[in-house]
Amino acid sequence: MKGFSRTNSLITAALFLAVSVTWGTTWMVMKIALTSFTPVLATGLRFLLASPVLIGLARAGGHPLLFPVGKRRFQCCLALFYFSLPFSLMIYAEETVSSGIASLLFAVMPVAVLSVSWLLTRQGVSRLQLIGTLIVMMALGTIIIRESGTTEIQSWKGVAAILLAVVCHAIMYVLCKKHCGGISVLTSNALPCLGAAFILLIFGLIRTPVDLTHVDTRAIAAVIYLGVVAGILGIMAYFLLQKRVSPFRASMVYFIFPLIALSLDDMLNGQAISPLSALMVAPFLAGIFLVLRPSPVSASR
């Protein structure tokens, strides 16, 4: 039994590390993809690589590709508002925002989900969650103001794009809890991912034809990484992690991946945030912790 428990713990730790590293490195890789592709094309190619594997895994696992009758319109909404729009906005933002700051902006997702849940479902918000939300907003606001006009944040358009992507994901996440009950994660991702690939590639190629003679091999490798590692392994690792631990423990990745992204940006690109911004990261993560922390009422149920 001890050996089984130890193996189980090691598998959980490996999944947690895999998700953290995947989410933490994705932001820099998106930056590299932009050297040869537009945000729309890079995202479309990313999904084109990921979708066949996700479809194959769904079929192999006996999961249906289509949502139940009556929920298929929502499946189309996932292709547009969970995949196409937010992921394009995220990589578009990195044209003017550093990968480290982009990851930090995206880490406000728990606050966005909490806010959307309260607005759409009137889910209760504890006092500690409200305090955590205020701390996150103040810390993030300080970072944005301090880094604006530097190489970290060259334009507010990038900040707005990331935050809009966060809002889109938060809304779709809350709606998924309502409409996707009992639907597997593979069914929820496979066809919407493929649909997003076609939408983005058609739109992207019409707007900006690709000149293959000027495509950098590093950018191609970056798109492959985004499709295979982030698009497949990242999704599956997080799904398996959620099955093994509580939602609160799984959400601990939100404390790790921004630190990885910020460290990589500093070490590889020489882009370090200011001392004041670095100081604000601590209360920012503390606020995220308070938002994610289960309330005594929900924990006792």
SS3 of the chain: the string is CHHHHHHHHHHHHHHHHHHHHHHHHHHHHHHHHCCCCCHHHHHHHHHHHHHHHHHHHHHHCCCCCCCCCCCHHHHHHHHHHHHHHHHHHHHHHCCCECHHHHHHHHCCHHHHHHHHHHHHHCCCCCHHHHHHHHHHHHHHHHHHHHHECCCCECCHHHHHHHHHHHHHHHHHHHHHHHHCCCCCHHHHHHHHHHHHHHHHHHHHHHHCCCCHHHCCHHHHHHHHHHHHHHHHHHHHHHHHHHHHCCHHHHCCHHHHHHHHHHHHHHHHHCCCCCHHHHHHHHHHHHHHHHHHCCCHHHHHC
Predicted confidence band at 299 (pLDDT cuts at 50, 70, 90)? very low
Structural domain contains residue 142: no
Highest mean pLDDT among 41-55, 113-127, 168-182: 41-55
219-234 burial by CB neighbour count: b if 16+ within 10 A, else e?
A: beebbbbbbebbbbeb
Q: Tens digits of per-residue pLDDT, 189-241?
A: 999 999 999 999 999 988 877 666 678 899 999 999 999 999 898 888 988 88
For residues 262 and 76, what is the distance between their CA atoms, to the nearest angstrom?
Answer: 34
Structural domain contains residue 66: yes
**Residues 242, 232, 114, 95: is their CA dihedral positive or negative?**
positive
Structural domain contains residue 255: yes
Predicted confidence band at 2 (pLDDT cuts at 50, 70, 90)? low
Q: Tens digits of per-residue pLDDT, 18-68?
A: 999 999 999 999 999 999 999 999 999 999 999 999 999 999 999 999 999
41 close to 201: Cβ distance less than 8 angstroms: yes
Query: How confident is the model at residue 3, as a pLDDT?
Result: 55
Structural domain contains residue 244: yes
Look at residue 145 and tell me whether its pLDDT is greater than 90.
Answer: yes
Query: How confident is the model at residue 163, as a pLDDT?
Result: 97
Burial of 124 (0-12, 13-18, 19+ CB in 10 A): exposed
Instruction: Give Cα 69 to chain centroid, integer Å.
Output: 29
Structural domain contains residue 208: yes
Look at residue 181 and tell me whether its pLDDT is greater than 60.
Answer: yes
Query: How confident is the model at residue 300, as a pLDDT?
Result: 43
Phi, psi torsion values for 286, nearest 5 degrees: -65, -40
Structural domain contains residue 22: yes
For residues 231 and 256, what is the distance between their CA atoms, to the nearest angstrom?
Answer: 19
Confidence (pTM):
0.90
**Residues 291, 86, 26, 198: is their CA dihedral positive or negative?**
positive
Predicted confidence band at 124 (pLDDT cuts at 50, 70, 90)? confident
Hey, what are 24's tokens? 């933490």
What is the overall mean pLDDT for the chain? 90
Structural domain contains residue 290: no
Look at residue 296 and tell me whether its pLDDT is greater than 60.
Answer: no
Query: How confident is the model at residue 243, as a pLDDT?
Result: 83
Number of domains observed in the structure of the chain: 1
Look at residue 7 and tell me whether its pLDDT is greater than 90.
Answer: no
Q: Tens digits of per-residue pLDDT, 74-116?
A: 999 999 999 999 999 999 999 999 999 999 999 999 999 999 9
Domain interval for residue 70? 11-123+155-268
* Choice between 215 and 170, residue whose per-residue pLDDT is larger: 170
Look at residue 146 and tell me whether its pLDDT is greater than 90.
Answer: yes
Q: Tens digits of per-residue pLDDT, 231-277?
A: 898 888 988 888 888 777 888 898 899 999 999 999 888 888 999 99
Neighbouring residues of 207: CB distance < 8 A, sequence distance ≥ 6: 38, 40
Structural domain contains residue 24: yes
Query: How confident is the model at residue 167, as a pLDDT?
Result: 96
